[in-house]
Amino acid sequence: MRNILFILLLCNVMLLKAQSLELEHWRIINSSEIADADAKVSQPSYPTTGWYQATVPTTVLNALVKENVYPDPRIGLNNYLIPDVSDEFNARMDLAKYNYLKSGRNPWQDPYWYRTEITLPKSYKGKKVWLTLYGINYRADVWVNGRLLADKNDIVGMFRRFKLDITDYALPGANNCVAVKIYQVDHPGVPTPGTQLKVFGPVRGHSYDIFKDETLKISGGWDCAPVVRDRNMGIYQKVTIEATDEVVIENPFIVTTLPKQDTSLADVNIKLEVKNTSGKAIEGKVNALITLVNDVKFPTYTKHMEGYLKPIKITKKVSLGAGEKKVVELTSEDFPSLLIKNPYLWYPNGYGEQYLHHIKLSYNTGGKVSDTKEFDFGIREVEVGLNRVEVDGDKAEVEYGRVYYVNGKRVFCKGGWIQPDILLEESDKRIYDEARLMAEANINLIGSEDMPSPSETWFESFDKYGLMWWHVFYQCYRMTPGTETENNPLDHNLAIACVEDMMLRYRNHPSIISWVGVNEVLMNENLYRLTKEKVKSLDTTRIYIPTTSYHWDVDALTPYLKEDLPTGTTDDGAPDYNWAPSSYFFDKVREVYLQMFRNELGMPSVPMYNSLRKFIPTAESTANVNSPIFPLDSIWAEHGAWDVSNYCYRSYDNAIRTMFGDPKTAKEYADNAQFLSADGYRAMFEAANHRMWDITSGVMIWKINSCWPDVCWQIYDWYLAPNASYYFARKAMEPVHVQLNANDFKISVINASHRVLDDVKVTAKVINNDMRVAWQHSQQLTVSPDCYKEIITVPQHGKYSYNYFVKLELHDKAGKLLSENLYWFYSQHMDFFWFTSMEKPELKKEVKVSKEEGEYVFSICLKNESARLSHFNHLTLQDARGEEINPVFWSDNFITLFPGDEKVITARVAVSDAGGVAPTFVLSR
C-alpha cells in the first residue's frame, strides 16, 4: 500500500490547470449507519439515499448544520443542543438527548463516509492520474472504485497533504467513485470544564488530551473558542484529481536575493525536483517562464501594477533513469537572465508596492508536456537583527527587540493574531475580505497559533496585500516545560512530517518572514532539535524562532533553548488582556522590560449592536434592566464575558459603567463600549509608536478577529463588521501619524515611512464642550525618515470643562492633511456621561454612488453647519431589506465633526454583498 502513497512533497499549487479537477459535491453519512462492506460502498453504483449533502471543504458538523440536523453552534447557546464526542461531558451536561442517530451511538466516535462520483475526462487515458487530499482531520481510509488505496495508518495528521497515484483504478471517460472514510482524532479529550456560563466566572478550559495529536487544539475549547462537538473531523480542505505524463515536478523553491545590498539588482534562484514515475529512461527538458504580474486579481476588483519585464525563458536538458528523482537548479551563473536589473520588488504593507511575478515550470519530453507547475512569487529579501537596550542604564540588565528589514528597509512591525472560523468554514471572498480589512487598518504583520496549514488562498491574499506572516507550527500551550504535557505531541515523526509539508507547501510566498516553532511554550529537546534541523534543511532564507515567548526557568527546564536566545520577542508579563487606562501602556513601554517587541496584548472589544443581536438572543430584552450587570447574562459569558483574577472582562465592564453610567439597553451598552475600545486599542499602538526604535521594534495585539461571534478580543467581529477599536487602531498604525502621548501629554509626530517629512505643520487645540478653544498651538517641523519627534506638552490643567477634547492635525507644506487625531478627557471625575446625553445636530449629507468592477463606490460629504458638536457618528450601508451590510471598506468611521467641519468619506462594498442593488447610506447618530 505504501508504494502508491506519496505523503505530499509537492509544490505550491496556486492555479488549477486544465488537467486538474476539484471535487466539491459529496455525500456523507455516519459509518455506523452502513452495514455494507467498504469495497461495496466505494463502487460507483452504490445508492446513497438517506445520505447528507456536503460541499467540500467541510467538517462533518458544519455539513450537518447546513443540512439543518443541528443548529448553528456559533449562535446563542446552541452549542448545548449538540452532543459532544465525550460521553462523560454529555452525561454531565445532559447532551446525549440531542443525538440525531436513531441507534443512540455517539455521533462523533465512529468514522464518517465522504463519498462522491465523477466522470473523468477521456484525455486522462494513458496518463498518470493523481488524487490529492489537501487537508483531512484526523485519519482516513481512501477508496477509489472499490479499491483501497491507503488506510488510516498512512493517511493521518491534520496539517499535511496526501497525494495518491490512482492510475490503475481510475476510469477515464467513465463514472468513478471516490470514497473517504474519516476517523475522529485519536485523543478527543473531555472538555474541562467545557462551559463558560457565568458572567465574570471561570474560563471554559480545554479538552487537554487533544494536545497529544497533530490536530487543531482550539477544537477542544479555549478561552476565546467554544468546544467543537465533533473536534472538526472531516475533509476541511479541497480534494483534486489531476493528470500528468510520466515525469512529474515536485517541490519548486524560488529564492531571491539582492546581491549588491541595494535594490538595483535581483538574483533569482530556482530549485525543483523532477521524478520519473515510469520504468524506463526518459530524455527531456525543464522549462521555466517568468513574467511580471501587471494585473493583480482580487474577488471584486483588479489592481493594475505599472511596469514591464521582458519574459525570462529558460530551458535545461534533464535526463532521468527509470524511477529516478533529480534535484534541478537553475541559477544566474548558468542563466544570466535570472539576474534582473532594477527589479520590481515586493514590500510589506505601507513600505512600498506588492509586485508579484508568475513562474510556469514544465517538463517536456517527446514534443509534449509531461507536467507543469505554476504560481506567483515575490522578489524580496528579508534580513533580521536585534535592538539592544539597557534597562535603567544597567549594563547587566539588557532587553532585545527583533528587527526585520525587507529589501534593506527597516520595518516597524504592527499587527496581531488571527483565528480561523471555529467550524473551519471559509470562502475565497471571505479570506480576501479579512486580508483587506487588515491591510486597510495599516497592519503589516500577522500570525496565528490556530492555523498551521491554511488554504493557499490565505497566503495569496497576504502576498497581494503585503501582510507579513509568522508561520507557527505547533500552535500554543500544547506542551509546557515542567508539566505533564511537556512531551506533546505523542508522535514526533508525524509532527515533523507536518512541518515538512507546511514548509514545502508555503515557502514560495513572500509574505512569510519567519518560521516559528510554537507560541508561548516550547517543545521537548527531541522535537526541538528535529524541528530545527528540518527547517534548516528546507529553508535558510527566513529566521527560525523556536518560541514567541518563555516564562519558565530556562536553565532548569530547557537549557537547549539558550542556543537560540535572545528571540527578541515576548508576551510574558504585562500588559495582558484586560482594560487599563491609556497611560498605562505608555508607562509600560518606558519600563523597557518585556516591551521591546511585545507580541500579545489586548482588551475586550464589544461588537456593534447590529452584530450583538445576531448571536445574543437576549440582546433586545430589558427584563433584567435592574441587574447590576445588565445586559450581561450567561450567553454573554459563553461568548467572552468571563474573568479570572481581573484577567479579561470585569475591568472593561466596570470602566464602561463607571465612565458612562448603567445602561438601559444592550444597544446603549454596546455604544458606550465603543468609546472605551477605541481609546484602548489606539493607546496600545501609540504607546509602541512613542518610543519607536529607541525601545520598541514591533507590537502585536491579541487579537485582530474572532473565530466565532464574541464580545472579547477583536477589532472586527465574526460578521466582518469593524467596531470603533478598528478605526482608532488603524489611525495609530498609519505610517505618518500625529499623536498625544497619554502618560505625559506630549505631542509626537511618528514617521514610520522612509521619506523625510519636510516642513510639516502640527496644529493642536484643547476644545471645551461648549466648543470654545481653551488652548492652542501650531508648529512647523521636519521629521527624518523612520523616527519620531516630540514637540510640545499639552497642559493637563487649565480652564477646561468637565469633558474636553484635544484635537491634533498634521499638514504638509502644501496644506494637505496628512494625519488627524482626537482625544477626549475628563477634568475632574471619571465620567463621560455627557457623551451619552448630548443632542447631536443634524449633519448635511451629500452622497454619490458609482460602480467599479464588482463594487459599489460611495463618496459621502458630511458637514456640520450647527454650533454644536457631532461626536462619534457611526456610518453604515444597508441593503434593500434594511439590513446592515458587512464588510464595507470605509476610509474612516466613528466620525466627529466640530462646528463648521466638513469631511468626505469613501466606502466600497461588493455588489454581491449588496444583493446587486446599490445600498442606502445610514448615519447612526
Number of H helices, E strands in the chain: 15, 52
Per-residue pLDDT tens for 524-566? 999 999 999 999 999 999 999 999 999 999 999 999 999 999 9
Specify whether 226 is located in the same domain as 259. no
| pLDDT for the residue 309 | 98
Specify whether 800 is located in the same domain as 755. yes
| pLDDT for the residue 12 | 29
- Of 8-12, 162-166, 713-717, 833-837, the poorest mean pLDDT is in 8-12
Q: Which of 779, 806, 837 is the last residue of a domain?
A: 837
| pLDDT for the residue 838 | 86
In CATH, what number is assigned to the domain containing residue 205?
2.60.120.260
Specify whether 218 is located in the same domain as 345. no
Per-residue pLDDT tens for 471-487? 999 999 999 999 999 99
Q: Report whether pLDDT(650) > 90.
A: yes
| pLDDT for the residue 13 | 31
The per-residue pLDDT of the chain, averaged, comes to 96
Per-residue pLDDT tens for 811-865? 999 999 999 999 999 998 888 988 888 888 999 999 999 999 999 999 999 999 9
Specify whether 293 is located in the same domain as 186. no
Dmax of the chain from CA atoms? 91
The DSSP code for 305 is -
**11 φ, ψ to 5°?**
-80, 175
- Report yes or no on 223 lying in a domain: yes
The amino acid occupying position 68 is N
Specify whether 750 is located in the same domain as 867. no
Average pLDDT over residues 265-293: 98
Per-residue pLDDT tens for 356-398? 999 999 999 999 999 999 999 999 999 999 999 998 877 778 9
Q: Report whether pLDDT(8) > 90.
A: no
Specify whether 209 is located in the same domain as 138. yes
Specify whether 68 is located in the same domain as 191. yes
What confidence category does residue 169 fall into, taking pLDDT thresholds of 50, 70 and 90?
very high
- Report yes or no on 507 lying in a domain: no
| Nearest of 674, 687, 657 to residue 604 by alpha carbon | 674
Specify whether 775 is located in the same domain as 654. no
Per-residue pLDDT tens for 397-446? 899 999 999 999 999 999 999 999 999 999 999 999 999 999 999 999 99
- Report yes or no on 508 lying in a domain: no
In CATH, what number is assigned to the domain containing residue 262?
2.60.40.10
Average pLDDT over residues 560-573: 97
- Report yes or no on 312 lying in a domain: yes
Q: Report whether pLDDT(39) > 70.
A: yes
- Of 4-8, 214-218, 657-661, the poorest mean pLDDT is in 4-8
Q: Report whether pLDDT(242) > 80.
A: yes
Domain count along the chain: 5
* Contact call for residues 473 and 454 (beta carbons, < 8 A): no
Parallel, antiparallel or unpaired: strands 357-365 and 368-377: antiparallel
The DSSP code for 519 is B
- Report yes or no on 384 lying in a domain: no
At a CB cut-off of 8 Å and minimum separation 6, what does 205 contact?
191, 192, 193, 194, 221
Average pLDDT over residues 698-720: 98
- Report yes or no on 408 lying in a domain: no
CA dist list (Å): 190 to 94, 106, 210: 14, 14, 9
- Report yes or no on 901 lying in a domain: yes
For 433, other C-beta atoms within 10 Å of its C-beta total: 22
Q: In what side-by-side order are the strands of the sheet with 175-183?
A: 52-55, 25-30, 112-119, 175-183, 139-144, 147-156
- The sign one gets for the Cα dihedral 117, 118, 124, 130 is negative
Q: Report whether pLDDT(702) > 90.
A: yes
Specify whether 715 is located in the same domain as 849. no
Q: Report whether pLDDT(17) > 70.
A: no
| pLDDT for the residue 839 | 87
Specify whether 638 is located in the same domain as 709. yes
Q: Which of 241, 264, 285 is the last residue of a domain?
A: 241
Q: Which of 241, 259, 289 is the last residue of a domain?
A: 241
Which residues constitute the domain of residue 672?
A: 570-733
Specify whether 700 is located in the same domain as 587. yes
The DSSP code for 162 is E
Per-residue pLDDT tens for 869-879? 999 999 999 99
| Nearest of 441, 475, 442, 445 to residue 462 by alpha carbon | 445
Q: In what side-by-side order are the strands of the sheet with 409-411?
A: 382-391, 394-406, 409-411
- Report yes or no on 680 lying in a domain: yes
Specify whether 593 is located in the same domain as 705. yes
What whole-number distance in Å separates Cα of residue 794 and Cα of residue 20? 64
